C-alpha cells in the first residue's frame, strides 16, 4: 500500500513538472511574437523580462495561493467567491490579458501569412489566423489542457534543445541570424542545407521526440517505459535534442558543408556587411 502511495506521489509530482515544462516552453512563441512587434531592442527585452517574466510569475503565484486558500481551482469561481471590487478587478485583468495575448499572436501570424500570400487582404488574413482558435473554444479542449501542454513540451522542448545547441555549441554564440535568409526559399539562403532540410535537426527531432513518446503517452497519460514518474519527459527530451544535434552538426554537417557558420564575431559582422 505504501509503495502504491509513493508511486502515485511520484507520478503526480512528475505530472506537475511536465505541465509546467510545457507551459514554460509555450511562452517561447510569445517572446518571439513580442520581439517582432517591439520597436526597439530595449522594449523587446524589458517587455519579455517584466511582462512575461516577473509580472506574469507574480500574477500566477497570487492566483495559485488564492485557489489553494479557497479550495477552488476554477478562476471564474474563486473570483465570484471573493466578490466586490476584487472580482471586478480580476475580470478586467482577465479581459485585458486575453485581448492583448490574442492580438500579439494573431497580428504577427497575419504578417507571416501575407508575406507568403501578398495579395491576401488583412481582413481575410486575420480571419484565417483566428479561425483555428475559435474552433478550439470548446469544453473538450479545456478538459484536455494537460494533453495540450504535453504536446507543447514534446514539440517546443525538442525544438528548443536544437536551437540552444545551435547557438551555444555549434556556432558558440558567434553566428548572426539573418532574418532575410529565413524567408528565402532556395540555395541562396544560408539556412537551406540539403533540399531545405537540415539532417542534424531532423535526426535530433526524431530521436528526442521518439524518446518523449516512449516515456510519456500524452493521450492516455501513461509511461510505456515506466520512467516518467522518475525523470519526466520534456526535460530529458530537451537534453537529448541538444546533445544529438550538437554532435551531428559538429561531426558531420559542418564538415560536409565546409562550415557555413562564422568562426569569429568580427568575421560574422564582415559577412553581414558584405551581403
Domain ranges of the chain: 1-37+139-269
* Location of C-alpha cell 494533453: 147
User: How many other C-beta atoms lie within 10 A of the C-beta of residue 80?
Assistant: 13
Task: Give the SS3 label for residue 155.
Answer: helix
Res 205: pLDDT: 96
Residue ranges of alpha helices (H) inside the chain are: 2-37, 41-46, 55-70, 75-82, 84-116, 122-135, 139-143, 145-165, 179-182, 199-215, 228-231, 234-248, 254-257, 265-274
CA distances from 241 to 81, 122, 194, 249 (A): 45, 38, 20, 12
**Cβ-contact 175, 167 below 8 angstroms:** yes
CA distance 41 to 91: 32
CA nearest neighbour of 24 among 235, 252, 217: 235
What's the distance, Cα to Cα, between the start and end of the chain in Å?
68
Res 258: pLDDT: 61
pTM of structure: 0.73
Res 175: pLDDT: 60
Res 176: pLDDT: 61
CA nearest neighbour of 69 among 61, 89, 8: 61
CA distance 204 to 99: 36
Angle (CA) 82-141-58 rounded to 5° is 40
**Cβ-contact 15, 146 below 8 angstroms:** yes
CA nearest neighbour of 235 among 208, 210, 214, 206: 208
Task: Give the SS3 label for residue 216.
Answer: coil
Res 221: pLDDT: 92
pLDDT along the chain (275 residues), means of 10: 71 90 80 78 84 75 76 73 70 71 78 85 90 80 85 91 89 68 76 82 96 95 94 95 95 74 45 44
Amino acid at each position: 500500500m505504501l509503495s502504491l502511495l509513493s508511486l502515485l506521489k511520484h507520478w503526480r509530482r512528475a505530472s506537475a513538472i511536465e505541465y509546467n515544462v510545457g507551459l514554460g516552453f509555450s511562452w517561447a512563441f510569445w517572446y518571439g511574437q513580442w520581439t517582432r512587434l517591439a520597436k526597439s531592442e530595449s522594449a523587446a527585452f524589458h517587455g519579455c523580462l517584466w511582462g512575461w517574466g516577473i509580472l506574469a510569475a507574480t500574477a500566477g503565484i497570487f492566483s495559485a495561493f488564492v485557489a489553494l486558500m479557497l479550495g477552488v481551482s476554477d478562476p471564474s469561481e474563486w473570483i465570484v467567491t471573493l466578490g466586490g471590487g476584487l472580482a471586478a478587478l480580476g475580470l478586467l485583468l482577465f479581459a485585458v490579458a486575453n485581448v492583448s495575448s490574442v492580438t500579439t499572436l494573431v497580428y504577427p501570424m497575419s504578417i507571416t501569412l501575407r508575406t507568403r500570400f501578398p495579395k491576401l487582404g488583412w481582413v481575410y488574413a486575420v480571419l484565417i489566423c483566428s479561425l483555428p482558435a475559435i474552433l478550439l473554444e470548446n469544453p473538450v479542449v479545456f478538459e484536455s489542457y494537460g494533453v495540450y501542454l504535453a504536446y507543447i513540451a514534446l514539440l517546443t522542448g525538442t525544438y528548443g534543445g536544437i536551437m540552444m545547441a545551435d547557438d551555444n555549441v555549434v556556432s558558440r554564440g558567434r553566428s548572426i541570424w539573418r532574418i532575410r535568409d529565413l524567408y528565402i526559399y532556395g540555395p541562396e539562403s544560408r539556412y537551406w542545407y540539403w533540399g531545405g532540410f537540415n539532417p542534424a535537426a531532423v535526426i535530433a527531432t526524431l530521436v528526442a521526440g521518439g524518446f518523449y513518446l516512449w516515456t510519456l503517452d500524452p493521450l492516455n497519460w501513461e509511461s510505456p517505459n515506466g520512467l516518467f514518474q522518475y525523470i519526466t519527459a520534456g526535460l530529458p527530451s530537451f537534453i537529448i535534442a541538444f546533445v544529438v544535434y550538437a554532435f551531428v552538426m559538429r561531426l558531420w554537417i559542418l564538415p560536409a558543408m565546409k562550415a557555413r557558420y562564422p568562426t569569429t564575431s568580427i568575421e560574422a559582422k564582415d559577412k553581414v556587411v558584405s551581403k
